[in-house]
Chains A and B, each alone.
Chain A
Amino acid sequence: MSDSAGTAPHYTRPLLPTPFHERARALSQVDSFVPWAGYTTVDVFTNAGQEYFAIRNACSVYDLTPMVKYRIAGPDAGRYLNRLVTRDLRKLRVNRVSYCVWCNDAGNIIDDGTVFRLGETEYRLCTAERQLDWLLDSAIGFDVQLSEVTEEIAALALQGPTSCAVLKKLGVTGIERLKPFEFSCFDATGMRLMISRTGFTGDLGYELWADPRQANQLWDALMTAGRSRGIRAIGSRALNMARIEAGFLMPNIDFVSAEGTVRVGTSRSPLELGLGWLVDFDKGHFTGRRALQEQMRQGLQRQLIGLDIAGNKPAANALLYADRKGQREIGSVTSAMWSPTCKRNIALAMVDAPHFAMGTTMWAEVYLSRELVWERRMCKAQVVDKPFFAPERRRVTPPGDF
């Protein structure tokens, strides 16, 4: 990125362009850019709804270069990561990816991310937030080398039912054999690509990791290959819709990083976030283990759950009540939307015990603006299973030819 930053002082360009910026700028019709981890990225190209349907019905291209990437290598890299995250990474084989969370000593989540095992003693950790300090502190006593490699890798998410077909058209031989959470290196149209079958949409999809110098070439080749399969560049807003349907959590929306909270009781543990399946108490010690065990013993005071809410008005930020009158507050909505695919009014919400049990009904206080005339509605809501949308095609190998 040093090229694009040029010789101008850094403060004149507080946000960096990604390697795909030139192409994104050309396609942007509404000039809607947002900052993300120090980069300027597209929020909406044309229309978030149209872009969302590209994810679900065709194929979407999303620039995820700003995703923070760390290289972790050395004889203790495996032991180091296993002590960092709550999941058992001893089982992670080379060329496999694992979705993980990691906690502070109190057992509250610092961040979530994916761990790629690149080799016997080399891993890549992709995270939402920068946290080199925590990773370095965690390295005390381990023989590992840590470095941030965000700028060295250009990354695109290719998500949607036709994504496999597009990659085949691109000349990625054998892509159909790649299983979920697997990755491999491919040569296609003169480029060396690492492709993982991962994503943030809960759908069939891939993530492409390339040399930033080949960014434009990759973008153009993908767009050409995908023309007949409905390929479309998408912004963060459309992706956010897909991830809510998939039940994925967004840092600073559904939880705040435990190292970033200042108020007592605002940090969240993986158990509270409904990520207990990521916590392995039998794998040996990891940071936060003793606190999480204590939390297990005492029982959860709150939990993040999925809600199906009556009506079709998104219950964004709604307070939740046990009673229709709204006298007993029991929680609040963290993410909400009308799901076009499920045809349901869905939400992720943090709810106090004991109201998080499956099937519990509650009331959401939804505010509606009808041409600036505000109405308050108490909408009935019920705790339902997540994810809200989980098509079989996301898992099938080889994927169908959509």
Chain B
Amino acid sequence: MNAVATARAAYDCIVIGGGHNGLACAAYLARAGRSVLVLEAADRLGGAALTREFAPGFRVSAGAHLLHQMPARLIEELALEKHGLRWAAQSLPTAALAPDGAALLLSGSGPESIEGPVDREDTEGYARFMALMQRFAAVMNPMLEAVPPRLGTERWADRLSLMRLGWRIRRLGRRDMRELLRIAGMNVYDLLKEHFRSPLLQGALGFDAVLGTNFGPRAPGTVMTLLYRLAAQHGAGARALALPAGGLGAVADALAGAARAAGAEIRLTAPVARVTVAADRACGVTLQSGESIAARAVVSSADPQTSFLGLVGSEHLDTAFVRRVHHLRTRGLAAKLHLALDGLPKFSGLPAAAHGARLLIAPSLDYVEHAYNHSKYGAHSAAPALEITMPTLSDPGLAPTGKHVLSAIVQYAPYELTGGWAGQHEAFAQQLIDQLERHAPGLRSLVRERELLTPPDMEREFRISGGHWHHVDLALDQFYAVRPVPGATQHRTPLPGFYLCGAGCHPGGGVMGIAGRNAARQIIAGEPAQ
């Protein structure tokens, strides 16, 4: 088998993993004229950006369920709309559900406006606050879309990159710059308490800061995670908070289309067992089937622990580097609930027209912080915070006529649950339905089927060690110039010919595709064409 494999023409680059970042990377590489092979372990593409059936006739975006951070530039560069990407909804508004009484409606785009039970001070304050945050987001956005500099080098490119960031911050003007520096390392709880009085508004903004992180709103660094989210949305422009027609899987399909059109080859059900190393260089992969495929470079969209400790192996890496990878915080804290519904539930306090919005159950900062507290000690939240979408309202094709799909991100559900998930999975799903029933009386009777994905379930399905959608937790010490670890920033790794292009790289997860795009650029710069 090996002899046959080595006789085959080698590829310029093998991309491990057919998630959105792997596909984006492959598309950019192929467009640059490189011969590319994408190897996907599953029998379908997309990784955690996929649409799949979870009940007969019902389909859902089983991983990420909203597209809110993919830069408009990437969509245009790869002509994803030409490759079939359509929009079921764009600029979704957000509705913060109240335990009793009216919901708060936050506009999805344009001038930041607010509707609902808040006083004038908060209404005006919200516009002011969001304008300030948008100015900061505009400073941060180029930082998210570019390859971060390495620290402590003598290279001019690195120095220049840091100087540009400094210059952008300086150009904010004295008042804004001071404010940015004051709040950058702060916790979002205190910041929101400074600005607003409405617990509902505070809860909604605070939840956005910790969505997909291992933090509660009182954790230092959560202002940064909020700015990160806003900065990414800034790049997405009007498409922030969009529902692609056909679910997130449509994004993966369009990316695959772009990659194939540029000449990339894609193989499904081809799990990689290890990266082949010879003469201190990655020179191909060996599949779990035993087949070997040679390539001049290998790029992995798998998480850093899987990539380094699993696929490359510590014997090809230095001790302290392995230690850093080993100690990455990669445990997911978000679960996913999917409900197949016989009819449309009615959320109390929410206008009928707003049911297609992004719904939040995070009625106050303390509610979110309490929800987080449990997870610190290995329990799931007694009253979790939820981000809910009902995609069938804008994309009816996902369910049989008249039926609906509800998809919710549930925080917090720790990867390592005391006693294990096996015995608590069922009860937690039941608890979530009870919680939804309180907000939408009658919902329980509409539930035809349900699916709950805990972080261990996501680890299995998406092959992400820890089941974290950012692969590596987004925190100041695992961010930007040190993400995922020193020695593997800028998509390069200590092993020549081996690159990273997944969410574990800067700028992280959230279906952006930037990591894939930037990795391709680094490979094109670092690996001369054949």
Contact = CB atoms under 8 A, between A and B. Distances in A.
Interface in A137-154: 137-138, 140-142
Contacts of A134: 319
Interface string A270-288: 0000000000000011011
A355 interface: no
Interface stretch (B104-112, B252-260, B309-317): B309-317
B315 A289 contact: no
B417 to A, nearest CB: 25
B309 A104 contact: no
A141 B305 CA distance: 11
B318 interface: yes
A142 B321 contact: no
Nearest to A104: B320
Contacts of A120: none
A137 B319 contact: yes
B426 to A, nearest CB: 36
Contacts of B313: 141
B153 to A, nearest CB: 14
Contact of B494 (A79, A83, A290): A290
Nearest to A80: B315
Nearest to B315: A83
Nearest to B309: A141
A290 B323 contact: no
A105 B309 contact: no
Interface residues of B, number: 17
Nearest to A82: B315
Interface in A91-150: 104-105, 134, 137-138, 140-142
A290 B280 CA distance: 9
Interface string B268-281: 00000000010010
Which one of B309, B318, B487 has the highest number of Cβ atoms from chain A below 10 Å of its Cβ? B318
A284 B494 CA distance: 15
B322 interface: yes
B319 to A, nearest CB: 4
Interface string A284-304: 110111100000000000000
A144 to B, nearest CB: 12
B448 interface: no
B318 A290 contact: yes
Contacts of B315: 79, 83, 141-142, 284-285
Interface string B485-506: 0010000001000000000000
A290 B317 CA distance: 9
A104 B319 contact: yes
Contacts of A285: 277, 280, 315-317
A68 to B, nearest CB: 18
B425 interface: no
Contact of B319 (A79, A138, A284, A290): A138
A289 B316 CA distance: 10
A372 B62 CA distance: 84
A67 B479 CA distance: 43
Contacts of A289: 280, 318
Contacts of B494: 290
Nearest to A282: B279
A108 to B, nearest CB: 11
A287 B277 CA distance: 16
A181 to B, nearest CB: 25
Contact of A105 (B280, B319, B326): B319
B106 to A, nearest CB: 46
Which one of A134, A142, A287, A289 has the highest number of Cβ atoms from chain B below 10 Å of its Cβ? A287
B320 A137 contact: yes
B314 A105 contact: no
Contacts of B323: 137, 140
Nearest to B494: A290
A140 B321 CA distance: 11
B291 to A, nearest CB: 24
Contacts of A142: 314-315
A137 B322 CA distance: 8
A287 B323 CA distance: 12
Which one of A83, A141, A290 has the highest number of Cβ atoms from chain B below 10 Å of its Cβ? A141
A137 to B, nearest CB: 4
A284 B313 CA distance: 13
A137 B277 CA distance: 22
A105 B316 contact: no
A141 B314 contact: yes
Contacts of B309: 140-141
Interface in B289-327: 309, 313-323, 326
B498 to A, nearest CB: 13
A288 B322 CA distance: 12
B326 A288 contact: no
Contacts of A84: 319
A28 B315 CA distance: 48
A79 B317 CA distance: 13
Contacts of B320: 104-105, 137, 287
Which one of A83, A284, A288 has the highest number of Cβ atoms from chain B below 10 Å of its Cβ? A83
A131 to B, nearest CB: 11
Nearest to A291: B318
B318 A288 contact: yes
Nearest to A138: B319
A142 B319 CA distance: 12
B280 A140 contact: no
A287 B318 contact: yes
Contacts of A287: 318-320
Interface in B313-360: 313-323, 326
B207 to A, nearest CB: 36
Contacts of B280: 285, 289-290
A298 B358 CA distance: 58
A167 B321 CA distance: 47
Nearest to B316: A285
A141 B323 CA distance: 10
Contacts of A137: 319-320, 322-323, 326
A284 B278 CA distance: 9
A288 B318 CA distance: 6
Which one of B316, B318, B319 has the highest number of Cβ atoms from chain A below 10 Å of its Cβ? B319
Nearest to B277: A285
A290 B315 CA distance: 13
A138 B326 CA distance: 11
Interface string A155-187: 000000000000000000000000000000000
Given A289-B280, A290-B280, A290-B494, A140 B326 contact: yes
Contacts of A284: 315
Nearest to A76: B315
Nearest to B308: A141
Contacts of B326: 137, 140
Contacts of A79: 315
A280 to B, nearest CB: 13
A79 B315 CA distance: 8
Contacts of A83: 314-315
Which one of A79, A140, A288 has the highest number of Cβ atoms from chain B below 10 Å of its Cβ? A140
Interface in B224-278: 277
Nearest to B317: A285
B318 A140 contact: no
Given A289-B280, A290-B280, A140 B322 contact: yes
Interface string A67-91: 0000000000001000110000000
Nearest to A142: B314
8 contacts: A79-B315, A105-B319, A137-B326, A140-B326, A141-B313, A285-B317, A287-B319, A289-B318
Closest 9 A/B residue pairs (Cβ): A141-B314, A105-B318, A287-B318, A137-B323, A138-B319, A287-B319, A105-B320, A285-B316, A83-B315
Given A137-B320, A287-B320, 7 more contacts: A83-B314, A137-B323, A140-B309, A140-B322, A141-B309, A142-B315, A284-B315
